[in-house]
Structure 1
Amino acid sequence: MIDLRALRDLPDVVRASQRLRGEDEGLVGAVLAADERRRGALSQFEAARGEQKARGKEVARATGEQKAALVAAAGELAARVKALQAEAADGAAEVDRLLRSISNLVADGVPAGGEGDFRLLEEVGTPRDFAAEGFEPRDHLDLGEGLGAIDMTRGAKVAGARFPFLTGAGARLELGLLSYAMARAVEWGFTPVVPPTLVTPEVMGGTGFLGAHADEVYRLADDDLYLVGTSEVPLAGFHAEEILDLSAGPLRYAGWSTCYRREAGSHGKDTRGIIRVHQFTKVEMFSYVSAADAPAEHERLLGWEREVLDAVQVPYRVIDVAAGDLGSSAARKFDCEAWVPTQGRYRELTSTSSCTTFQARRLNIRERTADGSTTPVATLNGTLATTRWIVAILENHQQADGSVLVPEALRPYVGLDVLEPLRR
């Protein structure tokens, strides 16, 4: 959540951020009013508590009828102190509830608007001219079925729609891609992690995933646990309630996990193939840094994502995501979108977000400063590879006979140079 002191000092900045996101700026006034009530109740409680202590001393010195009268008055005062304490506690809970409903402050320079209002930063590579090569490109599902790599029919039979089987060459390609990504992450100094994929409400809520998009999350009601849609969530919870030592630089983790998303509200969208599925696998980078270092770390994460994209040799573009499409936790987000030939457009493959201190405040993750005090750290995340990349790899590296060339960088990890169609 955002800093309450910053909201008190610069309410117009928070209102402007809410407007950029297309969210309710009236929440700022609601927080300020609730905070004023909380502080008033707390002030009354402290005054009554001081009076209670003074009366206690009088009772100790008094005798006879005077003492009886003072004891009776002290009882009434104790009840008032208890009531004021409860009022102050309720006020604090109300401030916290309202404050958690305000999204992170949008970083300077983020474009206004929604999904289509991004800023294009760069295009890399040139889409293939399949007409010049003399054949019509096939989409990833046609290719995947021909390769014995993707089986949507049996996935639906076993688990329902949008739960694919990756088999044979498909499984080898995914494992090879993710292994390559993890190897690069280790090379860059990340600690590899295989995290839990079930988390508590405190961790899921602490990362900001139980707000406006809570309907995207699978919940196990009997156990009060949530299935994660990204290992960002357990990696953020990894250091909850801790004071970190960042004197030697950022703490960086790379999580390999299965991920689950309900895709609520996406009925009719991308129902063909594996672009939008309920279960997939991902390698996710996660960084804990000092707040001042967050912008530089964000650029580093983007650079590492681009290195892996360059290695798989697909055309892509980099965009600065608009404020209304950031999600509640991100202050800024850069997406890399790969060209999908049969769709004639770019589709997201990676996303890297700077969450500044938003998640750390909720999860109480701090660092020790030079003067001995503590301050919230910044958290950042970025996708390094995921199942969806198979779409771009298959379509961009397909050959006229239905085979697919494996990008050279992946060949030692996949164990194949070419994915060959099954011969039936």
Structure 2
Amino acid sequence: MLDLKFIRDNVEAVKANVKNRFMEADVDLVVELYTKYNESLSKVEELRRQANENASKMKGKLSQEERTVFINKGKELKAQIASIDSETSDLKSKLSSEASKIPNMAHPDAPIGKEDKENFQIKVCGTVPNFDFKPLDHVEIGEKLDLIEFERATKVSGPKFYYLKNEAAILEMALTRYAVDILMKKGFRVSITPDIAKVDILEGIGFNPRGSESNIYSIEGTDMCLVGTAEITLGGYHAGEIIDLSNGPIFMAGISHCFRREAGAAGQYSKGIYRVHQFTKIEMFIYCRPEESDKLHETLREIEEEIFNGLEVPFRVVDTCTGDLGSPAYRKYDLEAWMPGRGESGDWGEITSTSNCTDYQARRLGVRYKDENGKTAICHTLNGTAIAISRALIAIIENNQQADGSVTIPKALVPYTGFDTIKAK
């Protein structure tokens, strides 16, 4: 969440930011609760001072009558402290709840807008293919080449699940290793993360695990959820810790399954494996000093570009508008691949994103570091998708389809797959 002192001292700017993000949060109420909370803390501190002073006076030589006066005064002060402590606790809970609704401040250069169509295109990489035949979408290709099975997955697990088969299964493993090899060369510590996390970790990262609007699967009878991204488990890794940034930022990469309810997701752009309930993703996560985060955000974007340039997938980079940022992000870039089977004549579809979350997540999770003066400070966090396998598969299959129905494999993946073409069975 935002620093409460910052909110109090910058009320109008915070209100404008909430408006630009098209979110609902009562900034005035947060300031009011913060003021009352601080007043309550001051009252408790004063009463405790009086209680300590009263107790010290009882150590001297006193008559029974004098001692009785001090004992009664101590009981009175203890009751008052208990009452105000309870009031302070209630105020803290309400303050935390209301403050958590306020999103991170947006970068001054983030385009102001409500939907992804208002994102700003920064550049286009690669060449959009010009087919001399009508291209198919990945669902049609997957069925013809026996790569993806939807019908039986629906029978077994329900809609928006799928089986990856034959060469597609090998491609998932190849893409995973391809991305991991690149990340390891760049100094990332790679791990396979848990697929389950506690509710307080999800809330700390900025995900909403409850309610009809939640995109998260909760595990009944527990305080745990299935993760929607390894950002959750990587961000929670150092929760409540003072980390060592004296040797530079901490680079982490996580391989995980991702589970998303995708409530209300519909339409032609959600067909096939573009928007599903389960997929594999390799996530990047960085802990750093505040002055480093802007530059590292560009680094994450460059890594994503390197990965997909290596796969020879045409894509564009967009600066995400304020209404599409999500609460934790200060700034977010999306990579959108060209998908020939999307819509009537092809269109761009998101394949990765990278966000600078500044101190928003770290403050909620209690992740701190010691600065050069030995003072404890809140670090910054960043995240970025190296590869979301299902969407990468769409881009590869659709862009590399051939007139004879086969699909060629990007050269960078051939050493991992052992084949360069997927042919009809």
Common topology (TM > 0.5): yes
Partner of 1:392: 395
- Taking the TM superposition and a 5 Å limit, the aligned residue runs for 1:261-410 are 261-268=260-267, 270-343=269-342, 344-386=346-388, 387-410=390-413
1:197 Cα offset (Å): 0.7
* Matched residue type, 2:236: G
Partner of 1:128: 129
Partner of 1:77: 77
Which string of whole-angstrom CA distances, capped at 9 and with x for unpartnered residues, describes residues 219-273 of structure 1?
Answer: 1022321101111110001111111111221111111111110001214454531
**SS state at 1:388 partner:** helix
1:11 Cα offset (Å): 2.1
Partners in 2 of 1:379 and 1:73 — Cα distance? 50
Partner of 1:117: 118
* Matched residue type, 1:369: D
Which string of whole-angstrom CA distances, capped at 9 and with x for unpartnered residues, describes residues 14-51 of structure 1?
Answer: 222112101235x2211110011111112222222222
Are the aligned partners of 1:114 and 1:323 in contact in 2 as well (CA < 8 Å)?
Answer: yes
1:372 Cα offset (Å): 1.1
Structure 1 250/58 Cα, relative in aligned 2: closer, same or farther at 3 Å? closer
Which string of whole-angstrom CA distances, capped at 9 and with x for unpartnered residues, describes residues 44-95 of structure 1?
Answer: 2222222222222344443133332332233222211221222223222222
Which string of whole-angstrom CA distances, capped at 9 and with x for unpartnered residues, describes residues 98-129 of structure 1?
Answer: 22121111111111112221111111223222
* Matched residue type, 2:203: G
**SS state at 1:215 partner:** coil
Are the aligned partners of 2:251 and 2:285 in contact in 1 as well (CA < 8 Å)?
Answer: yes
Which string of whole-angstrom CA distances, capped at 9 and with x for unpartnered residues, describes residues 169-204 of structure 1?
Answer: 110111111210111111111111100010011111
Partners in 2 of 1:281 and 1:70 — Cα distance? 67
- Of residues 385-394 and 213-222 in structure 1, the stretch that sits farther from structure 2 once superposed is 213-222
1:300 Cα offset (Å): 0.3
Give the percent of matched residue pairs that are identical in Structure 1 and Structure 2: 38
Partner of 2:218: 219
* Matched residue type, 1:368: K
Partner of 1:4: 4
Partners in 2 of 1:229 and 1:415 — Cα distance? 31
Structure 1 271/307 Cα, relative in aligned 2: closer, same or farther at 3 Å? closer
Partners in 2 of 1:288 and 1:72 — Cα distance? 53
* Matched residue type, 1:139: D
Are the aligned partners of 1:354 and 1:379 in contact in 2 as well (CA < 8 Å)?
Answer: yes
Structure 2 unaligned runs (5+)? none
* Matched residue type, 2:108: D
1:140 equivalent to 2:138? Answer yes
Partners in 1 of 2:46 and 2:369 — Cα distance? 34
* Matched residue type, 2:271: R
**SS state at 1:104 partner:** coil
* Matched residue type, 1:366: R
**SS state at 1:333 partner:** strand
* Matched residue type, 1:42: L
* Matched residue type, 1:416: F
Are the aligned partners of 1:177 and 1:414 in contact in 2 as well (CA < 8 Å)?
Answer: no
Partner of 1:206: 204
* Matched residue type, 1:353: S
- Of residues 35-44 and 163-172 in structure 1, the stretch that sits farther from structure 2 once superposed is 35-44
Q: What TM-score does the superposition give when structure 1 sets the normalisation length? A: 0.95
- Of residues 27-36 and 39-48 in structure 1, the stretch that sits farther from structure 2 once superposed is 39-48
Structure 1 342/239 Cα, relative in aligned 2: closer, same or farther at 3 Å? same
* Matched residue type, 1:79: A
* Matched residue type, 1:106: A
Partner of 1:94: 94
Q: What TM-score does the superposition give when structure 2 sets the normalisation length? A: 0.95
- Taking the TM superposition and a 5 Å limit, the aligned residue runs for 1:127-276 are 127-130=128-131, 133=132, 135-210=133-208, 215-268=214-267, 270-276=269-275
* Matched residue type, 1:56: A
How many residues are matched?
418
Which string of whole-angstrom CA distances, capped at 9 and with x for unpartnered residues, describes residues 369-405 of structure 1?
Answer: 1111111111111111122111111111000111001
Partners in 2 of 1:213 and 1:314 — Cα distance? 36
Are the aligned partners of 2:4 and 2:34 in contact in 1 as well (CA < 8 Å)?
Answer: no
* Matched residue type, 1:181: A
**SS state at 2:214 partner:** helix
- Of residues 241-250 and 388-397 in structure 1, the stretch that sits farther from structure 2 once superposed is 241-250
* Matched residue type, 1:75: K
1:345 Cα offset (Å): 0.9
Are the aligned partners of 1:103 and 1:328 in contact in 2 as well (CA < 8 Å)?
Answer: yes
